[in-house]
Structure 1
Amino acid sequence: MFSLFLIGGCMASSLRLPEPAELKGLWQLSDGNQVCSIELTDTRLPEGSIWALKGDSCLTELMRNPVKGWRPTPDGITLTDDDGNSLAFFGHESEQWVAYLVDGRELVMTFSGTHSVTK
């Protein structure tokens, strides 16, 4: 008698890593009190794994650190310093991207268009 046993398993679903060109453009970043305009570019920084981000003093004040780059992840966007160190991770939630910081603040990023930010 021939028996067939199926061993259950599950296949991990993998999320797709977006190309920088898919996320580049103008974004609004807010903590609920102030709103900063930033631009995610598709220009690679010398570090090699991050892309240039354009912002102004509003962004530095909001993040409490200079933000120089960003990188896409399968489940969000990470803002970084010059060396690629993570400053904040924004997870995709509906029409916005949200970061929950260690100090208790919640930051929200929303896409606002494709024109350049003047620096």
Structure 2
Amino acid sequence: MLVSALTLLGVPACHAPTSEAVDAVEENTMHTSPLLNEAEGLAGNWHLAGPEGDCALELSARNAPVAQGSLAAPMQALTITGDCLRDGSPQGWRPVPLGLELDNADGMAILTFEHIGEATYRSTDGAWTLTRR
């Protein structure tokens, strides 16, 4: 009844989007989504500075072990030289859409970093800075 009344008033009925319209939206969405960095592109030597001190990190592109029974996605190997991140020292890292994260042995994020410059990342809490050496 409502559709009939709207038709009499000259209001067009709703139609499902055409396949061309759906393709255009999907294509546009794919181009605006953040890209996931490749582990190989982030691997290397980094400097981490924050409230618990400074240290050197070596991000590796090889897989790091995740605790038995963990359902976390695979993470990459990490070596820390220096005295920082005393609480819950990370055991690995992984790329994420806006940057990278440092993970504990269970594969859960300890610190998440967003890309802010050429070779610089800042933790989402603003306390830590990670720069490529």
The bucket for the TM-score relative to the shorter chain is 0.7 to 0.9
Which structure has more RCO (C-alpha within 8 Å, separation ≥ 6)? Answer: 1
Question: Within 1, Cα distance between the matches of 2:99 and 2:121?
Answer: 7
Aligned residues: 103
Aligned partners of 1:53 and 1:70 also within 8 Å = yes
Distance 2:88 2:107 in 1: 13
Which of 34, 40, 43 does residue 53 from structure 2 map onto? 34
User: How many Å separate the matches in 2 of 1:77 and 1:49?
Assistant: 13
Match status 1:60 vs 2:85: yes
Q: Distance in 2 between matches of 1:68 and 1:46?
A: 8
Residue 50 (str. 1) matches residue 71 (str. 2) = no
Answer whether contact 2:114 2:124 (CA < 8 A) is retained: no
The aligned counterpart of 1:109 is: 130
The percentage of aligned residue pairs carrying the same residue is 26
**Aligned match of 2:123 in 96, 99, 103?**
99
| Letter matched to residue 105 of structure 2 | D
1:53-96: CA deviation from partner (whole Å, max 9, x where unpaired)? 100451332xx211110000121111000111100100000131
**SS, match of residue 60 in structure 1:** coil
Q: Distance in 2 between matches of 1:60 and 1:80?
A: 12
Q: Which has the higher helix share?
A: 2
Segments of structure 1 that go 5 or more residues without pairing to the other structure are 1-5, 113-119
Of the two, which has the highest radius of gyration? Answer: 2
Match of 2:40 in 1: 21
Residue 44 of structure 1 and its aligned partner are, at CA, apart by 0.5
Q: Secondary structure at the match of 2:83?
A: helix
CA change 1:81–1:91 in 2 (3 A) is same
RMSD: 2.5
Which deviations, in whole Å up to 9, do the C-alpha atoms of 1:15-60 show, x marking residues without a partner? 2212111000100000167321011001102335100110045133
Letter in 1 for 2:101: T
